[in-house]
Structure 1
Amino acid sequence: MTSLYDLTIPVITKALQTEVTILKKAEDYAKENDKPITDLINARLISDMLPLSVQVSISVATAKKTLQVLAGKEFTLEIKELSLEESYARLADTLKALAEVKPEEINGKESNIIEFNIGKRVARTTAIDGVQRFLIPTIYFHLTTLYDILRKEGVPLGKLDYLTHLIEGFEF
């Protein structure tokens, strides 16, 4: 049986590593095309959606919230627009925090009741349900939206840019 640790920490780590890779590709694209990086960081899919930088901010906050509810780690969960440098810094900080979590801090808590916000509402559910049905899907939603915004802006991303970290370790 797959452990709660294995369902969370490596999966979230790979998703955030993918965000770093995609942001670096966007940064390279902006430099090569004399496009201000702020144009990409502030881009949206449509006017009523949040900009790219907030997609990163939410992914990071959700990863940290996962560490709070599962491992008792304390973080400030601030969601706001970020510069490219702030995005990289938050991703690096969160990846470091994920790397420091030990399996024994999480495993065995599958049936613990956890709480987290969904919009203005507070959800209560088991740790395993919260991870599988909200926390990880939320991270992937914002990763996908980040990817889609950059594709809309002309950044030459492909499916392998999205999958590179996710398929590490596969045999081909």
Structure 2
Amino acid sequence: MSYATAALATYANMLGTLDHLVTKAEAHEKGETLLQSRLAEDMFPLATQIRFTIDQVRVALDRLGNLGLAADDSDITTFAEAHARIAAVRELVANTDPATWPASGDTVEFTLPNGMAFVMQAHEYCRDWATPQFYFHLMAAYAILRAEGLAIGKIDYVGYMMRYMKQPTPAA
């Protein structure tokens, strides 16, 4: 399996998780006020964590697939908007052909807004930058929701695993 195929499958699974978490948050008694919840004062709120999770995928698809995607730096203000953005990036993932990504050893260069610049191989970018950044913001969103009292657990985080569950053999 190529690094591109693995990354796209990971994004598909975990964007499903993000959408599920947003659905659970939407049904919570605190409603959309949750979007401004934070784990700590110096951390971004839930709305920004959701946006950053989505943006990590968009940026990776752009850098590796040369899709010419424009950044969306606008805030998420409603759960409906969060669902719409998640759906849009899930569609991008589903329609991305891993064969269009650079070879594993090809160079990826990028500069962060703070001026830090990086040069690495494509598979290293995916493994060491894009995937950890994606999971960091997804876990921050999950942690905020847990801290705010949502009844979520591991099955909400890895619900996609249920498709692999082996059904018990009936007793004779």
Is 1:164 aligned with 2:159? yes
The AA in structure 2 aligned to 1:50 is F
Structure 1 stretches lacking a partner, 5+ long: none
Is 1:100 aligned with 2:99? no
Deviations for 1:70-119, whole angstroms, at most 9, x for unmatched residues? 1111112233431222211111110001110113112x521111123446
Whether contact under 8 Å (1:54, 1:80) holds in the other structure is no
Write the distance in 1 (CA, Å) between the matches of 2:155 and 2:2.
Answer: 27
TM superposition score normalised by structure 1: 0.88
Whether contact under 8 Å (2:26, 2:32) holds in the other structure is no
Write the distance in 1 (CA, Å) between the matches of 2:49 and 2:111.
Answer: 17
TM superposition score normalised by structure 2: 0.88
Whether contact under 8 Å (1:51, 1:81) holds in the other structure is no
- Residues 10 and 168 from structure 1, CA distance in 2 versus in 1: closer, same or farther, beyond 3 angstroms? farther
- Residues 86 and 148 from structure 1, CA distance in 2 versus in 1: closer, same or farther, beyond 3 angstroms? same
Write the distance in 2 (CA, Å) between the matches of 1:117 and 1:164.
Answer: 35
User: Which residue of 2 is the match for residue 133 of structure 1?
Assistant: 128
Whether contact under 8 Å (1:54, 1:79) holds in the other structure is no
Write the distance in 2 (CA, Å) between the matches of 1:81 and 1:127.
Answer: 30
State the superposition RMSD in angstroms: 1.6
Percent identity, aligned pairs only, is 25
User: Which residue of 1 is the match for residue 66 of structure 2?
Assistant: 72
Write the distance in 1 (CA, Å) between the matches of 2:123 and 2:109.
Answer: 12
Write the distance in 2 (CA, Å) between the matches of 1:124 and 1:74.
Answer: 20
Aligned length: 164
User: Which residue of 1 is the match for residue 51 of structure 2?
Assistant: 57
Whether contact under 8 Å (1:114, 1:127) holds in the other structure is yes
Cα deviation for residue 12 of structure 1 reads: 1.0
- Residues 77 and 93 from structure 1, CA distance in 2 versus in 1: closer, same or farther, beyond 3 angstroms? same
Structure of higher CA gyration radius: 2
User: Which residue of 2 is the match for residue 18 of structure 1?
Assistant: 17
Whether contact under 8 Å (1:58, 1:79) holds in the other structure is no
